[in-house]
Amino acid sequence: MAETATALPTRRDFLFIATGAVGAVGVAAAVWPFINQMNPDASALALASTEVDISALQPGDTLTVKWRGKPVVVRNRTEAEIDAARNVPLTDLKDPVARNANLQLDAPATDANRAAPGKENWFVMVNVCTHLGCIPLGQQGEFGGWFCPCHGSHYDTAGRIRGGPAPENMAVPVYSFLSDTKIKIG
C-alpha cells in the first residue's frame, strides 16, 4: 500500500491565517462602535424603572415620584376610598377599559383591575390628565379622587374618568411589589 504524502504547513500558510485573523479582528473592532451606539444610554436605562419606598405612607397619604418624565402617584387608599371605587357600576363609567399595563388591553375598569391583587389599598397611576396632559390635583373633585382644574375633568379614587372632557381613565403603569414596603415601577 502506498503512503499518501501530507503537505506540512508552510510559512506562507501561517502568514495567510495570521493575516486573515488580524483582518477579522480589525473589522470587528471597526464595526463595534456602530453596533454599540444602538444600545440605550445610561440615562434611558435609568428612566426604565424606579423603586419606591412606601414604608412611610399611612392610609390616606400620597407620594408622587417621577418615572419616564411623568408624575406617578402612589396612594395608600383608605377603606372608604376603596369602598367608593368598588361600588361604582361599570355602566356609570365614561371609559369601561381598565388601562392597566399589568393586564390585558380590554380588561374592564373595575376597581380590582385598577389596583394590585391582594394589595387593593395601594394605588399606582400616571398622574396625567387624558384630555390635554395636565396634572390633576389629588383628593379633589366630585368623586374624591383627582380633579383637573384646566378643563374640569373629574376622576374617582381609582383614577377612572367620571366627568368632564377627558376621554380615558388615567393609565396604570407596569409595577410590582418587591416587598411590603417597596414598589418597582417599570
Q: Catalogue the active-site residues.
A: 151
Residue written as cell 419616564? 68
H/E element, 178: strand 175-179
Query: From CA 54, how far away is CA 89, in angstroms rounded?
Result: 30
What strand order describes the sheet that includes 137-138? 137-138, 146-148, 153-155, 161-163
Query: From CA 125, how far away is CA 158, in angstroms rounded?
Result: 9
